[in-house]
Amino acid sequence: MLIYLKKDSTETTGDELFYHIGTRTESGGLRFCLKCSKYKPDRSHHCKTCNKCILKMDHHCPWVGNCIGFKNYKFFVNLVFWGFINSMFFNYIFRDVVKFLVVEEKVVTVKLIAFIVFFFFMIMLMVGLLIFNIFHFIAVLNNMTTNEFLNINKKRERGEGYDKDGRELNKYDLGIMKNIKENLGLNPILWLIPYDTTNTKSQWNNGYNFKHNIKNEYEIIKSV
């Protein structure tokens, strides 16, 4: 059963927006945040660091000093992607600098060691960004947040969220193209450009209401 709640009037821009709560607690009750004293929409979670509930919370990122969620997830994906591309070009160019110093110096010097250490650090950064890109690429294709991915083990322990063949079910998985558009916007030209594509006045994918894969949702309910 879906419970429809009206948004707090302090959060609106004049237009009333209702949202439903389909996700429940383990006891079957509505998800309520004791810190914010509000009911939590689906896919939202309270961040202890930011001390507030974040819509469609993905994770808290210490590198940017903020939570990654509904309003800035696309920008985070863009940051990780272009950061990896830049680090790749940088390491390709810097490799020749290190080679030149090795030939030029001929002996180990403080300058040579400093450049080699920095080059090694940049390679580690590139590898780290590559891992982030792979993970979030998979997350976008499956329309799944990091927080939802980390909760898979909890569902697995309760035997929830799997079909009869043991395949994991995700009620937000709408298909690859629709999943990408929900996360990066409707216009493919803007997917890799840091341009805000969120539409908070839309009925769906507005941070409060998200389209469901009806078949998967039905299978999840049956598995509980």
Q: Which residues are catalytic?
A: 61
d(CA 3, CA 39): 11
Is-contact 148 160, C-beta < 8 A? Answer: no
Paired with 38 in beta bridges are 33
- Phi/psi at 82 (5° precision): -70, -30
Pairing of strands 52-54, 66-68: unpaired
- Rounded CA-CA distance 56/23 in Å is 13
* 126 neighbors 84 (Cβ within 8 angstroms): yes
